[in-house]
């Protein structure tokens, strides 16, 4: 077997293969396109396409596809084979520059939120050379952006690339002021930690709720959940280890830097963290990782659940988005120096992020809003729906001293003494773990923890990049006009901190007192549900900002509003219908069968002697019969609400209906069913229990 370094990236048409296979001139010209955004001419594209095709065929590919990310949140592909007929009835394998650079999938069924009438089906895909082509199965996949014929972005990649450009532009203005003219490109890096559950495939197949909705809609709590904390970082079970091994290999072949894996808090929950890379590539890689996780799981008789809250009562899954800013000269702009106080440039970028998160807390919240993530945010395992920034005590103290205009005493405040004279004082670790913060500074990066496990990381990073670009734009406007740069810089850091310190919170985000403090004293937003936050996506303040940086047009934003809310409604409707189906066709008949079994038992006993004690049967029959009535009437009520809400035309109103009328009825129905599950014989219960699902993989 080949060693890891040999097969790492073997299925990627990356720089090494390119250098080997492309004429030097073509290679250089392509690199200029990749690194400097220069236009690519068709001659160069032809040469690249041909080399790509040869390489792909050698690796077993017969097809190619433009791989893109429509607004469904998953990836899309339409495969074309390389074949082209010849006059003698044979075929040759062809792939031209034109086919590489541009595609026209008939994409009329992707959501466009009104951007493109269905009769005008044509959207087109355009090659994104900054994310390398790769081979999946028998197909050469070419990462592409997806736009309408009129040039509107129909995907998540296009706005992401635009947001990177906006951030680059403004960050360069700042770096120029600091004299860093050697820097020509600034880009965000992201490492997305991915949480997921693995359950047994056989069990999964018996749960219509998992099949149709990705989460359990019913299920009584098992005797043991996560309370002992014995799963977190526990030893990895053989079946899971085999899965991880296989998964890593697949990811490594695709050049994905899978690095860390461990068991998470809930039983059957795990995490995979890759090494960070450019946000655009990190986004593509995360999409691929999710897809490959699912595929590899199936090969192991498992199912990988990426839903944010597959099981009630135990932790759900998120995705931690570690974000930082890098220069093409290899400097991390969010990395403090030895003495952070002296590092004014670092502090400026730091407060730029703080300001961005405060000014655009609404947009960041919107960027992670989905029906499934609503089930998790604010729960005990996930950050609250209120956005705040954790900076740690040292950085906060430094900024406070700047605000007060007093010198920061690094020798006292910033160092911790270890209580023995043998060890020198160590710098206080600014990364001390605050797991409850939704947006935490962790040493040289920020960790945004509100993302859902199944979501594309594109949206969160689009908003983050652009919000920070906006802070930097305002800073550059001030500093470029300043007569005394140093004084202006000091004032800017001080004033920004003063103005935005309300968003900084180093305490326990799960505490109820924080919710009160945040909302009542600090005026921070607490947007609990998707319908609560969606209006902020198109509020004037946010729309103007996103449009001014050319990240979204007004039409594009409105289309996203439409799509996200429609999706919210659809998801809840599917869940409600699944519950009704499970209740009526499986659960009530199952309880009924058990009831009649108990009744027969009582009748048989009575037939032997009228004096035999049947109090057990009687009380159980009474409880179960009562529950059956409750369940059936709650199902009726749920159905009525679904029908009512389904009839609402306006999507905003409809989303309120699902949230306020349908979801509460779903909870009521579930409560009664879960109660019945606990007293129904296992052999009658039609679905594997939580205990079966959570503890079946060994
Ligand atoms: P933890 O679970 O403690 O948060 P992990 O090691 O699981 O830590 O994940 C940390 C993530 O942060 C990794 O994906 C890592 O590559 C990423 N990371 C580290 N440095 C940077 C950086 N400069 N920019 C973006 N991400 C980074
Ligand atoms: Mg983390």
Distance CA 583, CA 217 (A): 11
Count Cβ atoms below 10 Å from residue 405 Cβ, excluding itself: 8
- Among 137, 154, 171, the domain-final residue is 154
pLDDT confidence band for 417 (50 / 70 / 90): very low
Instruction: Please work out whether the CB of residue 191 comes within 6 Å of at least one atom of ligand 1.
Output: yes
Whose CA is closest to atom 5 on ligand 1?
273
Q: Is the pTM of this model over 0.85?
A: yes
Structural domain contains residue 557: no
Strand pairing report for 439-441 and 139-148: unpaired
For 388, residues 6+ apart whose C-beta sits below 8 A from its C-beta are 437, 438, 439, 503, 504, 505, 509, 518, 524
Q: How far is CA 458 from CA 136, 279, 307, 313, in A?
A: 22, 8, 17, 29
Query: Separation of 514 CA from ligand 2 center, angstroms?
Result: 22
Instruction: Please work out whether the CB of residue 418 comes within 6 Å of at least one atom of ligand 1.
Output: no
Query: Separation of 190 CA from ligand 1 center, angstroms?
Result: 8
Domain identity same for 531 and 596: no
Task: Answer with the residue of higher pLDDT: 381 or 251.
Answer: 251
Residue with tokens 């944010």: 308
Domain identity same for 535 and 638: no
Residue 435 above 80 pLDDT?
Answer: no
Q: What is the pLDDT of residue 160?
A: 97
Distance CA 527, CA 539 (A): 15
Q: What is the pLDDT of residue 8?
A: 94
Token code pair at residue 354 = 């703080």
Counting Cα atoms < 13 Å in the Cβ hemisphere of 63 gives 12
Domain identity same for 456 and 353: yes
**Looking at residue 651, which CATH number applies to its domain?**
1.20.120.1560
pLDDT confidence band for 188 (50 / 70 / 90): very high
Q: What is the pLDDT of residue 338?
A: 66
Q: Cα(first)–Cα(last) distance of the chain, in Å?
A: 27
Domain identity same for 169 and 77: no
Distance CA 224, CA 694 (A): 10
Which residue, among 393, 396, 385, has the nearest Cα to 436 in the 3D structure? Answer: 385
Distance CA 305, CA 239 (A): 16
Residues 430, 441 contacting (CB under 8 angstroms): yes
Is 199 strand, coil or helix?
strand
Token code pair at residue 557 = 């934003």
Mean pLDDT, residues 486-508: 94
Q: What angle do CA 385, 387, 389 make, to 5 degrees?
A: 145
Domain identity same for 124 and 200: no
Q: Lowest-confidence range among 303-317, 329-343, 655-669?
A: 329-343
Distance CA 20, CA 27 (A): 9
Residue 119 above 50 pLDDT?
Answer: no
Instruction: Please work out whether the CB of residue 70 comes within 6 Å of at least one atom of ligand 1.
Output: no
Report pLDDT digits (tens) over 604-616: 999 999 899 999 9
Max CA-CA distance within the chain?
104
Distance CA 244, CA 297 (A): 9
Mean pLDDT, residues 12-40: 90
Structural domain contains residue 224: no
Residue 352 above 50 pLDDT?
Answer: yes
Distance CA 565, CA 276 (A): 31
Query: Separation of 524 CA from ligand 1 center, angstroms?
Result: 27
**Looking at residue 461, which CATH number applies to its domain?**
3.30.590.10
Q: What is the pLDDT of residue 696?
A: 85
For 18, residues 6+ apart whose C-beta sits below 8 A from its C-beta are 27, 30, 48, 51
Q: What is the pLDDT of residue 419?
A: 34
Which residue, among 282, 288, 299, has the nearest Cα to 11 in the 3D structure? Answer: 288
Q: What is the pLDDT of residue 413?
A: 46
Domain identity same for 137 and 190: no
Domain identity same for 131 and 182: no
Domain identity same for 174 and 319: yes
- Count of domains in the chain? 3
Query: Separation of 447 CA from ligand 2 center, angstroms?
Result: 7
Question: Which ligand 1 atom sits closest to the C-alpha of 274?
Answer: 14
Domain identity same for 326 and 450: yes
Mean pLDDT, residues 551-561: 95
> Residue 672: which domain range?
567-695
Q: How far is CA 485 from the centre of its chain?
A: 40
Q: Which of 285, 320, 322, 335 to mutate to test the pocket of ligand 1 (most atoms within 8 A of CB)?
A: 322
Domain identity same for 18 and 105: yes
Q: Lowest-confidence range among 231-245, 318-332, 448-462, 538-552?
A: 231-245
Which residue, among 394, 412, 396, has the nearest Cα to 404 in the 3D structure? Answer: 396
Ligand closest in space to the Cα of 443:
1
Query: Separation of 449 CA from ligand 2 center, angstroms?
Result: 8
Token code pair at residue 140 = 């050469």
Helices (H), 12-79: 15-21, 24-36, 42-58
pLDDT confidence band for 599 (50 / 70 / 90): very high
**Looking at residue 136, which CATH number applies to its domain?**
3.10.20.70
Counting Cα atoms < 13 Å in the Cβ hemisphere of 88 gives 2
Judged on CB neighbours under 10 Å (0-12, 13-18, 19+), 462 is buried
Structural domain contains residue 689: yes
Q: What is the pLDDT of residue 426?
A: 39
Distance CA 230, CA 224 (A): 11
Question: Which ligand 1 atom sits closest to the C-alpha of 275?
Answer: 16
Question: Which ligand 1 atom sits closest to the C-alpha of 271?
Answer: 7
Residue 118 above 60 pLDDT?
Answer: no
Structural domain contains residue 461: yes
Query: Separation of 258 CA from ligand 2 center, angstroms?
Result: 14
Q: How far is CA 454 from CA 152, 186, 644, in A?
A: 25, 28, 29
Structural domain contains residue 220: no
Structural domain contains residue 562: no
Structural domain contains residue 529: yes
Domain identity same for 256 and 285: yes
Domain identity same for 112 and 184: no
Q: What is the DSSP string of 278-296?
A: EHHHHHHHHHHHHHHHHHH
Q: Lowest-confidence range among 11-25, 400-414, 504-518?
A: 400-414
Q: Is 419 left (phi over 0), alpha (psi -120 to 50) or beta?
A: left
Q: What is the pLDDT of residue 81?
A: 93
Structural domain contains residue 223: no
Mean pLDDT, residues 625-640: 98
Q: What is the DSSP string of 250-319?
A: HHHHTT--EEEEEE-SSTTEEEEEEPPEEHHHHHHHHHHHHHHHHHHHHHTTEEEE--S-SSTTS---EE
pLDDT confidence band for 555 (50 / 70 / 90): very high
Q: Which of 191, 320, 447 to mutate to test the pocket of ligand 1 (most atoms within 8 A of CB)?
A: 191
Instruction: Please work out whether the CB of residue 449 comes within 6 Å of at least one atom of ligand 1.
Output: no
Q: How far is CA 283 from CA 66, 184, 458, in A?
A: 16, 23, 6
Mean pLDDT, residues 78-96: 92
Report pLDDT digits (tens) over 159-185: 999 999 999 999 999 999 999 999 999
- Among 552, 582, 610, the domain-final residue is 552
Q: Which helix or strand (DSSP H or E) is residue 83 part of?
A: strand 83-85
Q: What is the pLDDT of residue 229?
A: 75
What is the pLDDT of the chain when averaged over all its residues?
Answer: 91
Question: Which ligand 1 atom sits closest to the C-alpha of 335?
Answer: 23
Distance CA 264, CA 452 (A): 15
Query: Separation of 434 CA from ligand 2 center, angstroms?
Result: 10
For a pLDDT cut of 70, what percent of the chain falls above it? 94
Distance CA 383, CA 377 (A): 6
Residues 672, 203 contacting (CB under 8 angstroms): no
Residue 342 above 80 pLDDT?
Answer: no
Residues 135, 79 contacting (CB under 8 angstroms): no
Instruction: Please work out whether the CB of residue 509 comes within 6 Å of at least one atom of ligand 1.
Output: no
- Among 521, 552, 583, the domain-final residue is 552
Token code pair at residue 60 = 């077993």
Q: Lowest-confidence range among 8-22, 329-343, 344-358, 677-691?
A: 329-343
Strand runs labelled E in 353-433: 389-390, 415-416, 426-427
Q: What is the pLDDT of residue 90?
A: 93
Which residue, among 358, 337, 341, 343, has the nearest Cα to 402 in the 3D structure? Answer: 341
Residues 687, 204 contacting (CB under 8 angstroms): no
Instruction: Please work out whether the CB of residue 275 comes within 6 Å of at least one atom of ligand 1.
Output: yes
Residue with tokens 């499970």: 582
């Amino acid at each position: 077997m080949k060693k890891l370094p040999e097969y790492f990236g073997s299925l990627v048409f990356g720089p090494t293969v390119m250098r080997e296979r492309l004429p030097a001139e073509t290679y250089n010209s392509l690199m200029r396109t990749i690194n400097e955004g220069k236009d690519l001419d068709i001659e160069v594209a032809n040469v690249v396409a041909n080399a790509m095709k040869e390489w792909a065929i050698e690796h077993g590919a017969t097809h190619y596809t433009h791989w893109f990310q429509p607004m469904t949140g998953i990836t899309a592909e339409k495969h074309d084979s390389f074949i082209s007929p010849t006059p003698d009835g044979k075929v040759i394998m062809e792939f031209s520059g034109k086919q590489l650079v541009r595609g026209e999938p008939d994409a009329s069924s992707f959501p466009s939120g009104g951007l493109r009438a269905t009769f005008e089906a044509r959207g087109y895909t355009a090659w994104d050379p900054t994310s390398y082509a790769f081979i999946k199965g028998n197909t050469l996949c070419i990462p592409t952006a997806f736009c309408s014929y009129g040039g509107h972005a129909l995907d998540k990649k296009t706005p992401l690339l635009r947001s990177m450009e906006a951030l680059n532009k403004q960050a360069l203005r700042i770096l120029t002021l600091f004299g860093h003219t050697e820097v020509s490109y600034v880009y965000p890096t992201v490492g997305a930690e991915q949480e997921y559950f693995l359950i047994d495939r056989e069990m999964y197949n018996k749960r219509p709720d998992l099949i149709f909705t990705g989460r359990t809609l019913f299920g009584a709590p098992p005797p043991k959940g996560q309370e002992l904390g014995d799963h977190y970082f526990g030893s990895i079970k053989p079946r899971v280890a085999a899965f991880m091994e296989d998964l890593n290999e697949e990811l490594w072949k695709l050049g994905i830097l899978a690095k860390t894996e461990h068991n998470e808090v809930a039983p059957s929950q795990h995490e995979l963290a890759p090494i960070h890379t450019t946000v655009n590539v990190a986004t593509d890689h995360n999409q691929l990782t999710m897809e490959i996780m699912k595929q590899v799981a199936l090969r192991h008789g498992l199912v990988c659940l990426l839903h944010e809250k597959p099981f009630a009562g135990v932790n759900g899954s998120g995705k931690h988005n570690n974000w930082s800013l890098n220069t093409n000269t290899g400097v991390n702009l969010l990395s403090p120096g030895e003495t952070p106080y002296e590092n004014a440039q670092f502090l400026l970028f730091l407060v730029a992020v703080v300001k961005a998160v405060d000014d655009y807390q609404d947009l960041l919240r919107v960027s992670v809003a989905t029906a499934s993530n609503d089930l998790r945010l604010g729960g005990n395992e996930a950050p609250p729906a209120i956005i705040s920034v954790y900076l740690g005590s040292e950085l906060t103290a430094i900024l406070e001293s700047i605000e007060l205009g007093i010198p920061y005493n690094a020798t006292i405040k910033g160092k911790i003494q270890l209580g023995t004279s043998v060890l020198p004082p160590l710098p206080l670790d600014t990364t001390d773990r605050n797991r409850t913060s939704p947006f935490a500074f962790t040493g040289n990066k920020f960790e945004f923890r509100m993302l859902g496990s199944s979501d594309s990381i594109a949206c969160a990073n689009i908003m983050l990049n652009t919000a920070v670009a906006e802070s930097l734009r305002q800073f550059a406007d001030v500093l470029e006009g300043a007569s005394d740069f140093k004084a202006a810089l000091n004032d800017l850091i001080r004033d920004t901190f003063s103005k935005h310190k309300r968003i900084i919170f180093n305490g326990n985000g799960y505490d109820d007192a924080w919710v009160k403090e945040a909302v009542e004293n600090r005026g921070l937003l607490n947007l609990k549900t998707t319908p609560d936050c969606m209006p902020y996506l198109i509020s004037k303040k946010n729309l103007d900002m996103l449009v001014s940086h050319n990240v979204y047009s007004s039409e594009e934003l409105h289309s996203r509003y439409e799509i996200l809310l429609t999706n919210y409604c659809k998801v809840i409707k599917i869940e409600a219908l699944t519950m009704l189906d499970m209740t009526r066709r499986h659960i009530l008949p199952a309880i009924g069968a058990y009831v009649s079994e108990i009744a027969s038992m009582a009748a048989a006993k009575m037939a032997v002697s009228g004096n035999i004690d049947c109090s057990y049967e009687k009380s159980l029959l009474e409880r179960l019969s009562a529950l059956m009535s409750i369940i059936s009437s709650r199902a009726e009520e749920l159905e009525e609400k679904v029908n009512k809400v389904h009839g609402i035309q306006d999507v905003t109103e409809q989303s309120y209906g699902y949230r306020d009328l349908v979801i509460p009825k779903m909870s009521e129905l579930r409560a009664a069913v879960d109660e019945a599950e606990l007293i129904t014989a296992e052999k009658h219960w039609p679905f594997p229990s939580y205990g079966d699902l959570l503890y079946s993989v060994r």
